[in-house]
Amino acid sequence: MAAGPVGATMERFIVGAQKSTNQLKAVLAKLLPAAGGARAGAGSSAGAVDALLSDITDSLSQALTSLRLGALNTQPPPGQSSICGGGGGRSAPRRYGQRARTDGECRMIVLQNEVQDSYTWRKYGQKEILGARFPRSYFKCGRKPAGCPARKHVQQSDADPSKLEITYLNGHTCDDDSPPPSSSSHIVPDPRIISSGTQRNTAVLVPVATTVPSSQPCIGQPPSPPLHSVPDMMTTGALLPTSAVVPAALSSTQYDPVPDDTASTPSMGEEEAELLLFIPSPACSQSELLHTEVAKVEPLGPPVWMEHDDACVAISDFMVVPEV
């Protein structure tokens, strides 16, 4: 789940800090009711508390995201060795070892997505891309029998390291007789397909908010000016229609954000459009994120539509009530 034992330890600390912050927030919400909402007055003490808590939770969330995304970058900075170890390589210095395995020593940060996809992926390459801060990883379908032409390229976004840009190439031929099992108990569906071609789909994975492609009309209403930004939300999450993505640390061979490649263009079917997704705000701890399917949510109001990265984003405040 993290880049090595040290990363796992750091992650636990961060998650613990997030939980403590949430608890503090709950306590303060009782003492200072106005602090419990993002609409608190900017100049009030409650507003200041609100802002500080948001900063803390936001920073913790980003730290956690960065820590986990660090596992994706096995390429060490010049002069440094990789946390994940050297791995393979024909003529590389003989520092092989500590490969990423399912025991969580070195894993990619990708998506919690088990809705429609049971594909497995095998990494076959990594390349430094000109002008990009992060290397691009190359994966091919790992299903057996081999021969499935499906591939994907994973690139961590320069602009926002918390995002992964995944390009899908070719459709799966391995699932003709074994459609991916659906998992109704999981909330997170496929990543958004921002652009598409005959053979290439690019999904930009947005961990905090759910985006609807700009080419798609916002459901129910046109985009409205943001009433509040995502980081300012004092709620614990958002309910969103249509597809969304949530980051989670999964084994590179277990995760899979790949949509059904049989459709090169994303379809907004009725079933898909009715999906309500839980996208935790930075105030949410990772443990909450990973178990949202068993948590109860209490909506606090109608969704708010806003634009984000040329996409229409719906934000709806609600409180998460952990299931006992």
Partner DNA sequence: GCAATTTGACCTAT
Partner DNA sequence: ATAGGTCAAATTGC
Task: List residues near DNA by CB under 7 A.
Answer: 74-75, 82, 84-92, 94, 96-103, 106, 120, 122-132, 136-138, 140, 142, 151, 153, 169, 251-253
* Cis status of the peptide bond prior to 145, with omega within 30 of 0: yes
Q: How far apart are CA 227 and CA 213, in angstroms?
A: 20
Q: Which is nearer to DNA, 112 or 316 (CB)?
A: 112
> Least Å distance between CB 127 and DNA?
4
> Least Å distance between CB 75 and DNA?
6
| Number of neighbours of residue 41 by Cβ within 10 angstroms | 11
Q: How far apart are CA 9 and CA 65, in angstroms?
A: 14
> Least Å distance between CB 79 and DNA?
13
Return all residues near 184 (Cβ < 8 A) that are at least 6 apart: none
CA atoms within 13 A on the CB side of 104: 11
Return all residues near 192 (Cβ < 8 A) that are at least 6 apart: 203, 204, 205, 206, 210, 211, 212, 213, 243, 244, 245, 266, 311
Q: Which is nearer to DNA, 86 or 226 (CB)?
A: 86
**Interaxial angle between packed helices 4-31 and 45-69, expressed in degrees from 0 to 180 and rounded to the nearest 10:** 160
C-alpha angle 285-58-4 in degrees, rounded to nearest 5 = 60
Exposure string for 11-34, b = 16+ CB within 10 A, e = fewer: beebbebbbebbeebeebbeebeb
Q: Which is nearer to DNA, 11 or 288 (CB)?
A: 11
Q: Which is nearer to DNA, 156 or 292 (CB)?
A: 156
Q: Which is nearer to DNA, 89 or 302 (CB)?
A: 89
Q: Which is nearer to DNA, 124 or 229 (CB)?
A: 124
Q: How far apart are CA 191 and CA 135, in angstroms?
A: 21
> Least Å distance between CB 121 and DNA?
7
DSSP 75: S
Q: Which is nearer to DNA, 30 or 90 (CB)?
A: 90
Q: Chain centroid to CA 287: how far?
A: 14
Q: How far apart are CA 169 and CA 124, in angstroms?
A: 14
Q: Which is nearer to DNA, 130 or 324 (CB)?
A: 130
> Least Å distance between CB 309 and DNA?
22
> Least Å distance between CB 198 and DNA?
15
> Least Å distance between CB 93 and DNA?
7
> Least Å distance between CB 249 and DNA?
13
